[in-house]
Chain A
Amino acid sequence: MRADAGTGRPDRRPDSPPLVRLEEVTKSFPGVVANDRVTFDVRPGEVHALLGENGAGKTTLVNVLYGLYRPDSGFVLVRGRRVTIRSPREAIALGIGMVHQHFKLVLPHTVAENAALGLKGTPFWAPARGVGRRLRELSERYGLPVDPDRRVWELSAGEQQRVEILKALLRGAEVLILDEPTSVLTPQETGELFKVLSRMREEGHGVIFISHKLTEVLEVADRITVMRRGRVVGTVAAAGADKPMLARMMVGREVVFRLTKRACTPGDAALNVEGIHVRNDRGLPAVRGVSFSVCRGEIFGIAGVAGNGQRELVEALAGLRRIERGRVCILGDDVTNRSPRLLSDIGVAHVPEERIRMGIVPGLSVEENLILKRHHRPPFCRAGLLHPASVRRFAQTAIEEHGIVTSNPKTPAKLLSGGNIQKLILARELSGQPALVLAAHPTYGLDVGATEQIRELLLRQREAGAGVLLVSEDLEEVMELADRIAVMFRGEITGVVSAGEAKREEIGMMMAGEERVRG
């Protein structure tokens, strides 16, 4: 479709004025300046990526644009006119739409009902009537196939995201903000999303694409603005950018992309899982007949979209969830349904998915958190009495060795940053040479520095002869670290490939439930 001025759609000459422009926006929260004189704009017909680590201030900036925050200073221009946006409602009226990282949908309702919710001119009776037709039109025009009569809970994460985009388009969004849109998608779904974004670009929309993943940003964006610690580091054209350059801008220093992964000969089996079945919290089957083995000196990666039984699998292996059927052997011994303490005592380390709720005791001090799980054994405890000197000595070594940033060992663990909490957990779990490491999303939500350090630690465990089970949603992480990769889908393993011959597309197919044909 050709953009033409007669339909009132903005044209897309490169020198056309920006659809929206944030001018010198500053926004602070107690103790932190989230946005420091940030200037950012989107022109019609472009995808402008906002790239930065967690906590760089990307979400704060778009929240200012969407009317959720008001800037301390600076202002917002929409089509060249200075405006004050007091609420999302006003943002929508100005043609700004947002797809949040966590969808805002009413699950039991249909797609059409969700789209009609809060829409101007919706009739009191039969509100969803009429919306369906318009949705179908938009679906077709932008390549967003969704059935308006399906109920939202039946849809996959990718389809729900499409509903959110359609909702924004239905409200006349000319500028669409997408906050970390690919975090819930399989590689195929990501590809489809990118096609939709190019359609929108052709239609003259402006898209703000927030991400911390370099590859994606380079693939989809026209311009890339990099933020670090609340400031804009620079804006570059995607055509002239590459990964090392963006990474340097993001982190502020050189980043090594290739981790040195030394050759390792896998030894005896550290873990043998034979046909186990596990239920989730609602009592429904979550892991259905999973078998695999992890050798010493090997990283075994489990990829898959979250919610396909990975959490239940790891918890079962850590002794925290009952195994209904099947057998688990560690170092050759049957340990099916043995207690977490026994497993920990025979050398199973567990880096849990919920690091703050499970991995630490937030109110206890750093040093007390460092001895959790071994607090009942010498040298920390003799005859029921704790030995503060040993605890202190161990804590000091661990803090130094792992570079945990804390004012002192007596600080409550809850005051640490996310990366330092994870370092604390790893310092604790990896001390004393474990035989098996269960690592669930070990770098999720961490900044590049901490991520690097934690990946390095896992590789070192592998070299030291531990078997590592790595569960991660970050496919790149799994492909980079693992020796073999299994994909979980709906509680089953759809295939195992060795890292050398793994292809993104193939793993993506398996993540979407396709069985691997060969091997």
Chain B
Amino acid sequence: MKRIGPFIVERRLAPPRHVVFGVSVLAVVVALLLAALVFWAYGVSPWRAYAEIGRGTLGTVDGLSDIVRRAIPLILCGVGLTLAFRAQFWNIGAEGQLLAGAVAASGVALFVPVPDGLRLPLMFLAGFGAGALWAVIPALLRVKLQVNEVISTLMMNYIMAYIVEWLVHGPWKGPTMRGFAYTDMFPTAARLPLIAGTRVHWPTLGVGVVAALVVGLILSRTRLGYEVRVVGQSPDAARYAGISFTVVLSLAMVISGGLAALAGVGEVAGIHWRLRSPSHISMGYGYTAIIVAWLARGSPIAAILTALLFGLIFAAGDLMKTTLGLPFQITGVFNGLILFSLISSDLLMYWRIRWRRRGEAWT
């Protein structure tokens, strides 16, 4: 217990649920206030900016559909990351895993002869496999050789981005694309259906929601989930209990990377209908998903909601570019501010601050 001015600060070992929720909301609000300063510095009235954003995103069908479209890859990547983070495996590689899925799906779409009806399922399957494979490498490196996964997963993002670049400039460059760095367009059977009048590729959305429920069940109701939580919270106890780190971390990363890869499948099959430069396919969804998972505090169900919030921020970025003349990079500033205030808000969760009662002793 410490006294700071008129306040008493006390340690809180296990913050109750409503505190976690309240503090998280507070963090987002603080970030929005800080962002208001950025608008103001650009010479745009924060009031006008937020009003425009509210009207343009939440107020129209187009706006809403844009939020959902952006949220789909964030849900898939974010849900996968909650699982990895619960094992305290800091997977920074969702971006690369997403691209791995895009590559595998494009390969199946363009070059594998299968009946039309099986093409999309096979694309999802191949995508999941590719992401899982790409993600399991850092897990094994960590268990077998003690390679820090933050470094390895981050570096593997660059490797995968350059593989995509190489493919679209080289072997997979579409002959019909007149020299542009695209593959050919996917055949119709390799394109995902959209909700009429929108750009929401609903099968991927469905997969994302189901994935959140399944990962939630895995965490709470299965042996794997139990072991993930033990490994994450107390590696020594995990060793003591004879839990295999190789098995647990590999499986967690297979699921985490596989789900991120499904996001990549959705982007190429639902939006672009071809493989193209990595910065166009992803816009940094894999990185933003880290904040999505963090804000969800490791709950895959909550990740759906936080993904929608960040979908809104992405949609707002588009809007600010067209209506307010602000650069799209403002979304990056938003994301940064939210992550920043979230991480600082952890202090508030684990420390209780209250007014000093009259006559209460000091320490």
Contact B221 A385 (CB under 8 A): yes
B228 CB, nearest partner CB in chain A, Å: 11
Contact B13 A384 (CB under 8 A): no
Question: Most chain-B CB neighbours within 10 Å: which of A28, A69, A318, A361?
Answer: A361
* Interface 9-residue window, one of B25-33, B115-123, B234-242: B234-242
Contact B14 A340 (CB under 8 A): no
Question: Across the interface, which residues of B come within 8 angstroms of A384, CB to CB?
Answer: 222-224
Return the chain A residue nearest B224 by Cβ.
A384
| A145 at the B interface (CB under 8 A) | no
Additional A-B contact list (5), CB under 8 Å, known A388-B221, A412-B13: A339-B242, A358-B239, A362-B234, A373-B242, A375-B226
* Interface 9-residue window, one of A133-141, A196-204, A349-357, A442-450: A349-357
| A154 at the B interface (CB under 8 A) | no
Contact A368 B242 (CB under 8 A): no
Residue interface bits B322-363, CB-to-A below 8 A is 1, else 0? 000000000000000000000000000000000000000101
| B147 at the A interface (CB under 8 A) | no
Question: Across the interface, which residues of A come within 8 angstroms of B227, CB to CB?
Answer: 375
| A415 at the B interface (CB under 8 A) | yes
Contact A340 B229 (CB under 8 A): no
Question: Across the interface, which residues of A come within 8 angstroms of B13, CB to CB?
Answer: 412, 414-415
Question: Across the interface, which residues of B come within 8 angstroms of A352, CB to CB?
Answer: 240
B1-28 residues with Cβ-Cβ distance < 8 A to A are 1, 10, 13-14
B246 CB, nearest partner CB in chain A, Å: 12
Question: Across the interface, which residues of A come within 8 angstroms of B225, CB to CB?
Answer: 386
In the docked arrangement, what's the CA distance between A320 and B239, Å? 7
Question: Across the interface, which residues of A come within 8 angstroms of B238, CB to CB?
Answer: 361
A24 CB, nearest partner CB in chain B, Å: 14
Interface residues on chain B, size class: 20 to 34
Question: Across the interface, which residues of B come within 8 angstroms of A360, CB to CB?
Answer: 234, 237
| B230 at the A interface (CB under 8 A) | yes
- Beyond A376-B223, A386-B223, whether A340 also contacts B236 by CB under 8 A is no
In the docked arrangement, what's the CA distance between A339 and B222, Å? 23
* Shortest 4 CB-CB contacts between residues of A and residues of B: A341-B242, A340-B242, A72-B361, A358-B236
In the docked arrangement, what's the CA distance between A320 and B238, Å? 11
A435 CB, nearest partner CB in chain B, Å: 17
Contact A372 B14 (CB under 8 A): no
Question: Most chain-B CB neighbours within 10 Å: which of A339, A342, A354, A385?
Answer: A385
Contact B222 A386 (CB under 8 A): yes
Contact A361 B14 (CB under 8 A): no
| A29 at the B interface (CB under 8 A) | yes
B336 CB, nearest partner CB in chain A, Å: 29
In the docked arrangement, what's the CA distance between A28 and B363, Å? 9
Contact B242 A358 (CB under 8 A): no
Question: Across the interface, which residues of B come within 8 angstroms of A29, CB to CB?
Answer: 1
| A118 at the B interface (CB under 8 A) | no
Contact A359 B361 (CB under 8 A): no
Contact A319 B242 (CB under 8 A): yes
Residue interface bits A361-381, CB-to-B below 8 A is 1, else 0? 111100010001101100001
| B188 at the A interface (CB under 8 A) | no
Question: Across the interface, which residues of A come within 8 angstroms of B361, CB to CB?
Answer: 28, 72-73
- Beyond A72-B361, A339-B242, whether A362 also contacts B233 by CB under 8 A is yes
In the docked arrangement, what's the CA distance between A28 and B1, Å? 10
Contact B242 A344 (CB under 8 A): yes
Question: Across the interface, which residues of B come within 8 angstroms of A28, CB to CB?
Answer: 361
A309-363 residues with Cβ-Cβ distance < 8 A to B are 318-320, 339-344, 350, 352, 354, 357-363
- Beyond A319-B242, A320-B239, whether A361 also contacts B233 by CB under 8 A is yes
Interface residues of A (CB under 8 A from B): 28-30, 69-70, 72-73, 318-320, 339-344, 350, 352, 354, 357-364, 368, 372-373, 375-376, 381, 384-386, 388, 412, 414-415
Return the chain A residue nearest B237 by Cβ.
A361
In the docked arrangement, what's the CA distance between A362 and B241, Å? 14
Contact B240 A359 (CB under 8 A): yes
Question: Across the interface, which residues of A come within 8 angstroms of B234, CB to CB?
Answer: 357-358, 360-363
In the docked arrangement, what's the CA distance between A344 and B227, Å? 16
In the docked arrangement, what's the CA distance between A498 and B186, Å? 83
Question: Across the interface, which residues of A come within 8 angstroms of B237, CB to CB?
Answer: 357-361, 372
- Beyond A30-B1, A72-B361, A414-B14, whether A350 also contacts B223 by CB under 8 A is no
Question: Across the interface, which residues of B come within 8 angstroms of A318, CB to CB?
Answer: 240
In the docked arrangement, what's the CA distance between A344 and B236, Å? 16
Return the chain A residue nearest B352 by Cβ.
A30
Question: Across the interface, which residues of B come within 8 angstroms of A368, CB to CB?
Answer: 226, 229
A424 CB, nearest partner CB in chain B, Å: 12
Question: Across the interface, which residues of A come within 8 angstroms of B1, CB to CB?
Answer: 29-30
Return the chain A residue nearest B240 by Cβ.
A358
10 A-B pairs whose Cβ atoms sit less than 8 Å apart in the complex? A318-B240, A340-B241, A341-B242, A360-B237, A361-B230, A361-B237, A368-B229, A373-B240, A373-B242, A386-B222
Question: Across the interface, which residues of A come within 8 angstroms of B14, CB to CB?
Answer: 363, 412, 414-415
CB < 8 Å neighbour of B236 from A341, A354, A381: A354
Contact A340 B223 (CB under 8 A): no
In the docked arrangement, what's the CA distance between A340 and B224, Å? 18
- Beyond A28-B361, A30-B1, whether A372 also contacts B221 by CB under 8 A is no
In the docked arrangement, what's the CA distance between A373 and B225, Å? 14
Question: Across the interface, which residues of A come within 8 angstroms of B242, CB to CB?
Answer: 319, 339-344, 373
Question: Across the interface, which residues of B come within 8 angstroms of A375, CB to CB?
Answer: 223, 226-227, 241
- Beyond A319-B242, A361-B237, whether A381 also contacts B221 by CB under 8 A is no
Question: Across the interface, which residues of B come within 8 angstroms of A70, CB to CB?
Answer: 363
Return the chain B residue nearest A382 by Cβ.
B223
Question: Across the interface, which residues of B come within 8 angstroms of A364, CB to CB?
Answer: 229-230, 233
Question: Across the interface, which residues of B come within 8 angstroms of A414, CB to CB?
Answer: 13-14
Return the chain A residue nearest B217 by Cβ.
A385
Contact A340 B239 (CB under 8 A): yes
Question: Across the interface, which residues of B come within 8 angstroms of A361, CB to CB?
Answer: 229-230, 233-234, 237-238
In the docked arrangement, what's the CA distance between A412 and B16, Å? 11
A59 CB, nearest partner CB in chain B, Å: 16
In the docked arrangement, what's the CA distance between A70 and B3, Å? 13
In the docked arrangement, what's the CA distance between A55 and B242, Å? 34
In the docked arrangement, what's the CA distance between A454 and B225, Å? 32
Question: Across the interface, which residues of A come within 8 angstroms of B226, CB to CB?
Answer: 368, 375, 386
Contact B230 A372 (CB under 8 A): yes
B238 CB, nearest partner CB in chain A, Å: 8
Question: Across the interface, which residues of A come within 8 angstroms of B239, CB to CB?
Answer: 320, 340, 358
Question: Most chain-A CB neighbours within 10 Å: which of B221, B236, B241?
Answer: B241
In the docked arrangement, what's the CA distance between A363 and B234, Å? 9
Question: Across the interface, which residues of B come within 8 angstroms of A388, CB to CB?
Answer: 221
Contact B240 A340 (CB under 8 A): yes
Contact B223 A385 (CB under 8 A): yes
In the docked arrangement, what's the CA distance between A412 and B233, Å? 12
